[in-house]
Amino acid sequence: MKRVIVELKKPMRLSMEEVIEREAAKLPGFTIDQDYEPVPVSPTEDLAPSLAEAKEEVVLIRGEVEEDKEKELKKMPNVINVWTDALIEAFDDENPEDIEVESLQEGCKESGIDLEALETEKISEELPPPFDLELASPCPPADCKPSVAKGTISDVAKYLRCDRLWAKGIRGRGIVIGICGDGVNKSKVPAFIGGWSPTSIYTPGTAPFNSYSTMTAFDAVGICPDAKIYDIAILQSQGGISNFLSNAIKAYQWALNQYKKNKTPQILSNSWYMSQKSWAPDYATNPNHPFTRKVVEVINKGIIVIFPVGICGSVCPSLRCGSDTGPGRSIWGANGHPKVITVGLANIREEWMGFSSQGPAALDPKKPDFCAPTCFKGYTKCDCCSGPATSVCAGVIGLLKSHDPRLTQDKVKEALQKTAKNLCAPGWDRNSGYGMIQGKAAFNYLFHKHIPIVHAVWTHGTSIHEEFIGRLKLTRRLGGFALFEGKPGTRNWFHFAIPTPVIVNARRLRLDSVMLMFLADPDVWVTNVRIYDGAWGIESYDGLAMTGTHWFERFDVLNKYVRWGIGISIGVKFGTKNTRHYIRFVTAGADFIKE
């Protein structure tokens, strides 16, 4: 017997109960699941006119069919198609070696994540890769250490400049995010307000405290503090986690019904995907699969839907991806549909995660759309893999949509794409999409009314001052720039004083942003940029890892009054490799606006 979803034509005059009693009884070799209430779904474009003329609609039922009867079933006049009810769980019970604790990524194990859950993702990091990551990676340097946290959820919020939006009072009020996964524990997520479950045995909000969805809900609220949470437990069922696409269809229908009642949830954040095409080819590669069509239907009604790329990237993929890894073989089904927001994985050091699945997706050649931060200390010691990135992205979108509830999926995606910071290549690339999302920059793109710059000032690189001269091997000022060679393994600070207009035409100015131009050798990084007004720190960008050529880097300031004079302090780390350690400062500047 094979689990299937049957797509039926239903006369509009018939009730759902009559569909089960009369229509399903006529299907050869098919045993219907009586507990699964038929779900309506939008027809494909080619069928819509004829169904409307015949006063019919499309519904989905699920059950099992004898495999030798499937072709006969498809030929029935009331059957539109028969689809695989694909298993979307993380581990196949028939392959117990696939769930050995020793092979799971250490961060999830130490943090207590349930190893039976879908998103408890096993990354092949048990042994160091037998190659140089920088040479093997299409986007060096790649991060293949999901057990190592890169900052905290607070650092993520600061990196994305979401704290600047909070300071403006933009905190996600009125937003409800649906966390689609293995269930949320409401005692750990006070923002919980309800949800859906496929079984009466499990009630929303009562998942174990160490469930993956509890973690991702925590992360979403960490970015969007005033948002509320729906627990949409797609992966819960009687006797454990069964995770079939038919449950996902039912969950999305519930979300759609809720949205029609009260315009919530505004966002659905998913952290699950299919690792191998062979599990369900008709879902993996066909945009007409009923679940994918239900996703599109939900988006068209006004709900924003976010999916991760998956963890089958070419550098250090999950072992359960099999041979389906790397470009063109790692983003399947709805996760890569053109209409959804598809999120790649990177850390706040701006390193692409080597297990992040790569485009083109099966349903769209231009995926992923962009990356969001993962692998940080949040609910656990290291919130890593696909779920945290998706929920962080959901949090950013929640902030934007709370400011303007009219924002659509397309407009939000455009803003995040246009303002993303390139990671792997200029523009779009198949590894990181358009790069790392930027929360405040996306907000400015959508809502910021242009304020004319009234003054812009620059100073030559030769005006910079080093703090610890004893940590330098070389200091040289040449023409318009300053060259420094650091001693290996040291850190240093460099300081610019910016010529500062304070009052112009009897009006005090505000500082809009500062800019830097510098070039750093591969084993040298700018780690901090701190901005001062006199002795007072007014903005801080910490936890950076900027190396290479940076001809124009802008650092926004929350429009602080200028009272004294602007200074920029730059923290630099010199590595320990047996190579030169040069950094060249070309120029620095600042833009000022009126009070």
Cα-Cα-Cα-Cα torsion 456, 462, 466, 471, nearest 10 degrees, comes to 140
Check: CB of residue 490 under 8 Å from CB of residue 471. yes
pLDDT at residue number 81:
96
The rounded distance, in Å, linking the Cα atoms of 555 and 539 is 9
Strands (E), 363-490: 370-373, 455-460, 465-466, 472-478, 481-486
Query: Are 394 and 177 spatial neighbours (Cβ–Cβ below 8 Å)?
Result: yes
pLDDT value for 505: 84
Taking each helix axis from N to C terminus, what angle separates 439-447 and 409-419, rounded to the nearest 10 degrees? 120
- Rounded Cα distance between 175 and 304, Å, is 12
pLDDT in tens, the chain (595 residues): 899 999 999 999 888 888 888 777 789 999 999 889 999 999 999 999 999 999 999 999 999 999 899 999 999 999 999 999 987 753 233 322 232 223 333 333 333 333 333 333 444 444 445 455 555 789 988 999 999 999 999 999 999 999 888 877 889 999 999 999 989 999 999 999 999 998 888 899 999 888 899 999 999 999 999 999 999 999 876 444 447 899 999 999 999 999 999 999 999 999 888 889 998 999 999 999 999 999 999 999 999 999 999 999 999 998 889 999 999 999 999 999 999 999 999 999 999 999 999 999 999 999 999 999 999 999 999 999 899 999 999 999 999 999 999 999 999 999 999 999 999 999 999 999 999 999 999 998 998 766 788 899 999 999 999 999 999 999 999 988 999 999 999 999 999 999 999 888 888 899 988 999 999 999 999 999 999 999 999 888 887 888 999 988 888 886 678 999 999 999 999 999 999 999 999 999 999 988 6
CA distance 106 to 125: 9
State the pLDDT at residue 121. 41
How high is the pLDDT of residue 133? 55
Distances (CA, A) of 122 to 119, 197, 356: 9, 26, 13
Question: Treating both helix axes as pointing N-terminal to C-terminal, what angle do 439-447 and 386-403 enclose, rounded to 10 degrees?
Answer: 30
Task: Say how many C-beta atoms besides its own lie within 10 A of residue 21's C-beta.
Answer: 13
Half-sphere exposure at residue 359, Cβ-oriented, CA atoms within 13 angstroms: 26
DSSP label of 450: P
User: Measured on CA atoms in the order 184, 188, 189, 193, is the torsion positive or negative?
Assistant: positive
Which residues 6+ apart lie within 8 Å of 13 measured at CB?
55
The whole-number pLDDT of residue 452 equals: 81
What tokens were used for 531? Answer: 């901005």
pLDDT at 123: 44
**Residue 329: both structure tokens together:** 């073989």
SS3 state of residue 446:
helix
Q: For the segment 28-47, what is each residue's pLDDT rounded down to a tens digit? A: 999 999 889 999 999 999 99
Please enumerate, as own/partner, the contacts of 46-52 that have beta carbons within 8 Å and a separation of 24 or more.
47/80, 51/9
Full DSSP string of 225-282 = TT-EEEEE-TT-BTTB---BHHHHHHHHHHHHHHHHHHS--SEEEE----S-GGG-HH
In the chain, what are the domains? Answer: 2-84 (3.30.70), 96-447 (3.40.50.200), 455-594 (2.60.120)
Distance CA 206, CA 199 (A): 13
> Taking Cα atoms as reference points, which of 211, 179, 205 lies closest to residue 193?
205
Question: How many whole angstroms separate alpha carbon 273 and alpha carbon 243?
Answer: 11
For position 372, what pLDDT does the model report? 98
Of 474, 516, 523, 480, the residue nearest 498 (C-alpha): 516
